[in-house]
Structure 1
Amino acid sequence: MSYSPKLAAALSGATLRQLAHWRKASASRGAVLVPEISHTRPILYSFRDVVALRTCVKLRNDTSLQKIRRALDTLRDGLQEREHLSAYRLVADGSTIYLVEPGQAIDLVRRKANVVIHELVDVLRPFYRDGRHIPDLLRPRDHVTVDPAVRGGIPVIEGTRVPYDEVAALLRDGIPAERISDYFPSVTPSAALDAKDFADYVDSYEPPKEPREAAAG
């Protein structure tokens, strides 16, 4: 299963404009993240991409895009690390970006190793970006879960394989939450309402109105 840019943005906290900007290489640096499934229309992201995007959003909260690109170039070209970006624990402290490994943190901007202890941020947990609440990646709503082993990671009703958007579509068509079990016996009214709430969040997710240069970062 794959994620459209809109769903990837809603789950990661990146803006749609950022996703487009991060897919492209700069004049001197490589792309931040090229979608694993399809980088041409239709653009499709993988679950690993979404995890990596959450890391990038958290880094962007603390440092510049220029430093992020420099750090990723060091990771890929300097250290010859070829795993997917989601496989690495990256943290920023405002002045630089570290690749955190057992016993040390490698400064990817200054290219040196430091034996330091940094607060490790779990990119799967909820966080705020520019005042917007970005939900838990694996449980974006109480009754909506994301599991790569279930339908490839598409959000589903907890404990089922029922996609959230199919339930939300019924509610939008006027079916009461109490009647959803007529269509999906395992879906409770509260789970149906959570599916609708999450669908509304995804559908209303838009880039904040900000200057083009700032939005692209």
Structure 2
Amino acid sequence: MAYDPKLAAALSGATLRQLAHWRKASVSRGAVLIPEISSTRPVLYSFRDVVALRTCVKLRNDASLQKIRRALDTLRDDLKERDHLSSYTLVADGSSIYLAAPDQAVDLVRKKANVVIHEMVDVLQPFYRDGRHIPPLLQPRAHVAVDPAIRGGVPVIEGTRIPYDEVAALLRDGVPPERISDYYPSVTATAALDAADFADYVDSFDPPRERREVAAG
């Protein structure tokens, strides 16, 4: 299983435009993140990609895209760190971007080793981006869970293998929450409402014109 761009955006906090931009290399620097499953249509992201994207979104709160690209080039070209971006702890403090490790931290912009990091971040936890609340990655809603060992990480009703969007689709078709158990006995009305709420959140990452076209159709 894999994440299409809209679901990857919703789980990471990036916009669809940012995802497209980050897939491309600039004139002088490499791409921020190329999806490891498919970088051409249909574009598909992995769970590791989503974790890395959350890191990039959090960095973007405190650093310019140019600075992020410079830091990633230092990581990959100078330090020869070529593992998946999700493998690294990257922290920004408004002046630079650092690679944090248990025994040291490296300033990836000014290329100085053994700097002090005052605050570590956990990209799996919730945060805000441009006034939007980005939910915790592994529990985006109380009854919706993300586990890479279950359906490849596609959000499901907690404690089941039932995709959230299948339940949300039934509610959108007019099935009352309390009747969802007729279709999925293990899904409560509360869990169904959570699935619908998360589906609405995912759809909010559609570009405005696309949302109007869907509504008009």
Tell me the TM-score normalised to structure 1 length: 0.94
Partner of 2:87: 87
> RMSD in angstroms over aligned alpha carbons?
1.2
Question: Are 2:161 and 1:167 aligned?
Answer: no
CA distance in 1, matches of 2:197, 2:85: 30
CA distance in 2, matches of 1:200, 1:117: 37
Please give the per-residue CA displacement for 1:57-77, whole angstroms capped at 9, x wherever unaligned. 000000111110000001011
1:6-25 to 2 correspondences below 5 Å: 6-25=6-25
CA distance in 2, matches of 1:206, 1:179: 29
CA distance in 2, matches of 1:72, 1:5: 22
Q: Is the 8 A contact 1:8 1:50 kept in 2?
A: yes
Instruction: Quote how far apart the aligned CAs of 1:82 are.
Output: 1.1
Instruction: Quote how far apart the aligned CAs of 1:17 are.
Output: 0.4
Question: Are 2:53 and 1:53 aligned?
Answer: yes
Change (3 A) 1:208 1:128: farther
Q: Is the 8 A contact 1:24 1:31 kept in 2?
A: yes
Amino acid at match of 2:25: A
Q: Is the 8 A contact 1:157 1:187 kept in 2?
A: yes
Q: Secondary structure at the match of 1:185?
A: coil
Instruction: Quote how far apart the aligned CAs of 1:114 are.
Output: 2.2
1:47-196 to 2 correspondences below 5 Å: 47-196=47-196
Q: Secondary structure at the match of 2:106?
A: strand
The number of aligned residues is: 209
CA distance in 1, matches of 2:128, 2:202: 16
- Which aligned runs of 4 or more in structure 1 are off by greater than 3 angstroms? 206-209
Instruction: Quote how far apart the aligned CAs of 1:194 are.
Output: 0.2
Q: Where does structure 1 lack aligned partners over 5 or more consecutive residues?
A: 210-217
Q: Is the 8 A contact 1:103 1:115 kept in 2?
A: no
Instruction: Quote how far apart the aligned CAs of 1:115 are.
Output: 3.8
Tell me the TM-score normalised to structure 2 length: 0.94
Please give the per-residue CA displacement for 1:137-177, whole angstroms capped at 9, x wherever unaligned. 00000000000000000000000000000000111111111
Amino acid at match of 2:54: R
Instruction: Quote how far apart the aligned CAs of 1:208 are.
Output: 8.4
Change (3 A) 1:106 1:201: same
Instruction: Quote how far apart the aligned CAs of 1:207 are.
Output: 5.5
Q: Where does structure 2 lack aligned partners over 5 or more consecutive residues?
A: 210-217
Q: Secondary structure at the match of 1:62?
A: coil
Instruction: Quote how far apart the aligned CAs of 1:106 are.
Output: 0.3
Q: Is the 8 A contact 2:107 2:115 kept in 1?
A: no
CA distance in 1, matches of 2:151, 2:106: 36
Instruction: Quote how far apart the aligned CAs of 1:103 are.
Output: 2.3
Amino acid at match of 1:12: S
Q: Is the 8 A contact 1:15 1:208 kept in 2?
A: no
Q: Secondary structure at the match of 2:133?
A: strand
Q: Is the 8 A contact 1:127 1:133 kept in 2?
A: yes
Amino acid at match of 1:112: K
Instruction: Quote how far apart the aligned CAs of 1:206 are.
Output: 3.7
Partner of 1:28: 28
Q: Is the 8 A contact 2:157 2:163 kept in 1?
A: yes
